[in-house]
Amino acid sequence: MFSSLFSLFGRSKEREQLDLQLRGFGLEPRGLSEALKLTLLRLLKSSAAPADAGGSLSGSSGAPSEAALRQAAALFSYCFMGSTLFAESNGAPCCRQVEARLTAALQAPQDRDAQIILLALYSGMADDELAARFDWE
């Protein structure tokens, strides 16, 4: 039902940008549900609002900035691909950067990165190694 509704009105520019960013990190966005991607975008918008004064997370329209989409797509892709596949697709330096964010998220479970990780885990499609590493409930 919703897929036909989305096709009637077209996809939002934000969703198209998110799909491009996910593909850029080696994750095919068609494998993710639209609801999951919309939830990620909503999370980015809600976390960008307080930080908007600094101008770093959202654009003038309240939409997530390209940098915020890229950061979220990197972390989200890692959550579904796992470290080995992510490193093969993006290189070891990029993989280490994302793993540092994962480690930081363990220390700050209310942080935006932690919320992105939880979203991936609750989808039931996250990498098994990641699910074992983050035993949050």
Encode the chain in three state secondary structure.
CHHHHHHHHCCCHHHHHHHHHHHHCCCCHHHCCHHHHHHHHHHHHHHHHHHHHHCCCECCCCCECHHHHHHHHHHHHHHHHHHHHHHHHHCHHHHHHHHHHHHHHHHCCCCHHHHHHHHHHHCCCCCHHHHHHCCCC
Give me the average pLDDT of each 10-residue run along the chain (137 residues): 50 90 96 95 81 44 86 97 96 97 91 94 92 74
Match 């940098």 to its residue by tokens.
67
pLDDT of residue 2: 52
For residue 136, what pLDDT is reported? 60
Name the residue among 92, 76, 63 with its Cα closest to residue 23: 76
Given this model, what pLDDT does residue 120 score? 95
Q: 92 is written with which tokens?
A: 């070891």
What's the pLDDT at 137? 55
The helix-helix angle for 92-107 and 66-90 (nearest 10°) equals 120
In this prediction, residue 56 carries a pLDDT of 44
φ and ψ at 131, to 5 degrees? -60, -40
Write out pLDDT tens, residues 75-110. 999 999 999 999 999 999 999 999 999 999 989 988
pLDDT of residue 63: 82
Contact 61, 70 (CB under 8 A): no
Residue 99 · residue 61 · CB < 8 Å? no
